[in-house]
Amino acid sequence: MQDVSFGVSRGVVKAIIGPNGAGKTTLFNLITGFLTPDRGQIIYRGEAIQGQPAHIVASKGIARTFQIVQLFDHMSVLENVMVGRHRLTRSGLFSGMLRFPSMRREETGITAKAWEVLEFVGLADRAHQPAGILPLGLKRLLEIARSLASEPRILLLDEPASGLDQNETDRLGEMILTLRDRGLTLLLVEHDMSLTMEVAEEIVVLNYGQLLAEGPPRAIQKHPEVIAAYLGSDWQG
Amino acid sequence: MSRRFLASPWLLFALGVILVRLVVANDYYFTLLNIIGIHALLVVGLNLLLGYAGQISLGHAAFFGLGAYTSGILTATYSVNPWLALPVGLLVAGVAAFLVGVPALKLRGYYLAMATLGFGIIVYIVFNQTQELTGGPSGLSGIPSLSLGGFSFDSPDRLFLLIWVILGVILLLSANLVDSRLGRAVRALHESEPAAQSLGVNTSRAKLLIFVWSALYAALAGSLYAHTLNFVAPSSFTFMFSIKLVTMVIVGGMASIWGSLLGAAVLTILPELLVVFHDYEIIIFGAILMVVMIFLPRGLVRGILDLWELRRYKKKGGPSPAA
């Protein structure tokens, strides 16, 4: 990555597009603390967070999904979402083993919130199924639900539509817009152009680790270099 | 808590222990059950690490030995009260686990296995070589029994209650732990460490915590062992025993509390039944491990539970397992 610089404003849906190998997932890994940049800064709410470990970055309210779905396959759907509450809860080893009243209260809260999220995404009927048996579309949904349970300020979605059929992609688009309306900031990496053009208010285009263009969808669609590098010269918009 | 307890396996466990205590009349059986109980303590601890957290330890016999020798030396040589020596044993094992864990848990897969293996061997050598302290290869005798009030736990039937009550409490606490916020975090990091980190789980700290915690279980088992046999020798804390422990975890059921008990029971009783085949014990253990790994890779209890769950969702007309 070289000289990539952009910002994401609160409450905005921003998309990162570009050919494979352009560095989109690398960018996500840098933002979320899985990679450390050699140079440059990542500023979140006025604080420089580059180089901080992933779990610290997550605890500040930055949530993400993964290009290849990373669920806890042998845990139930409900438990997957319950893990999402981790950064907002405190019980440790002793209160867990001895089931202190404070721990039990916290558990009740965790379970209640998890159910809420499952109802919101529509997975409540599968709450006790092991996550591994879900079809891909629902797995992606569960991963998003799990992230939502952590009440993030910004949600990074890494190719959320990958492997989804048209129906599922449409519903994903609706969900993204609903989340935006609820005040969540979203940054997504996507290859599905119709989804991107539909939900994104701003688009960043990467190519070979560099920033090619940034702007609203209309401008990007007409941008000659973007068309040449990525959209293809027969792109109709 | 009370209603849940009444309808639960814990009540069955308690009743079972009382029943066995009343029915069994033979010291040999009590001794065998005591060893099973001590092994079960070891296996539950190792299961937390291996089954739930997904971290390998091929040196757990070392923590067992550290607990046993600390208790043994303090009580036999320095006449310390056994109940005071026990926490010291926990401390020694805990500190050792911390020191080994900090660098070793940064390693993956077979590197971690080698590191724990190495540690186990080093500790074994120390037990053998520090003659003045440990009595060397011929062991340390004269370890007193535990007692409470005037009641001395010096016979197999008395020890049975002590060991199995402690085991019962540990099983309950462990089951609680697995089902708690930390338990979920640990299971999560086993399934996908990046995902767990992305939700705020400090995976390095969690792994270290479980590693030290499982060493404490082993040290507790070690202390009980020392006060049961009134004798300890390095030959009980070999690499082979560490492997046996891993086998017990795997066969009984990875990430299963009751599986730990089953694995300990089956693989402690088996050598007794196969006394004729003593020389081939390791081969038979290996064969059992292979067979279980091929057909029920997550162990007996966990494998059967998995199959049952899968069948349940297939029957309900749910989707077939995703590719």
Is A83 in CB contact (< 8 Å) with chain B?
yes
Type of residue at A214: E
Residue-by-residue pLDDT tens, chain B, 323 positions: 455 555 688 899 999 999 999 999 899 999 999 999 999 999 999 999 999 999 999 999 999 999 999 999 999 999 999 999 999 999 999 999 999 999 988 877 778 889 999 999 999 999 999 999 999 999 999 999 999 988 999 999 999 999 999 999 999 999 999 999 999 999 999 999 999 999 999 999 999 999 999 999 999 999 999 999 999 999 999 999 999 999 999 999 999 999 999 999 999 998 887 777 777 777 887 888 888 888 888 888 888 888 887 787 776 544 444 43
Q: What is the pLDDT of residues A136-195, one digit of tens each?
A: 999 999 999 999 999 999 999 999 999 899 999 999 999 999 999 999 999 999 988 889
Which CATH number describes the domain made up of A13-75+135-231?
Answer: 3.40.50.300
Helices (H), chain B: 2-6, 9-23, 27-47, 60-76, 82-104, 109-129, 131-134, 156-178, 181-191, 193-198, 203-229, 239-252, 257-273, 281-295, 300-315
Let me know the angle formed at the C-alpha of A167 by A189 and B312, rounded to the nearest 5 degrees: 100
Kindly report the nearest CA distance between residue A103 and chain B, in angstroms: 8
Return the number of CB contacts < 8 Å for A and B.
126
Let me know the angle formed at the C-alpha of A34 by A33 and A40, rounded to the nearest 5 degrees: 55
Is B110 in CB contact (< 8 Å) with chain A?
no
Reported ipTM: the value is 0.92
Burial class (CB in 10 A: 0-12, 13-18, 19+), A2: exposed
DSSP states along chain A: -BS------TT-EEEEE-STTSSHHHHHHHHTTSS--SS---EETTEE-TTS-HHHHHHTTEEE--SS----TTSBHHHHHHHTTGGG----HHHHHHT-HHHHHHHHHHHHHHHHHHHHHT-GGGTTSBGGGS-HHHHHHHHHHHHHHT--SEEEEESTTTT--HHHHHHHHHHHHHHHHTT-EEEEE-S-HHHHHHH-SEEEEEETTEEEEEE-HHHHHH-HHHIIIII-TT---
Q: What is the CA radius of gyration of chain B?
A: 20
User: Does the beta-carbon distance from B176 to A97 stay under 8 Å?
Assistant: yes
Is B26 in CB contact (< 8 Å) with chain A?
no
Of A66, A93, A95, the CB nearest to B194: A66
The CATH class that applies to domain B2-315 reads mainly alpha
Q: Where are the domains of chain B?
A: 2-315
Q: What is the model's pTM?
A: 0.91
Kindly report the nearest CA distance between residue B319 and chain A, in angstroms: 7
User: Does the beta-carbon distance from A71 to B195 stay under 8 Å?
Assistant: yes
Kindly report the nearest CA distance between residue A90 and chain B, in angstroms: 8
Which of A62, A77, A97, A168 to mutate against chain B (most B CBs within 10 Å)? A97
Cβ–Cβ < 8 Å for B72, B142: no
Q: What is the pLDDT of residues A140-154, one digit of tens each?
A: 999 999 999 999 999
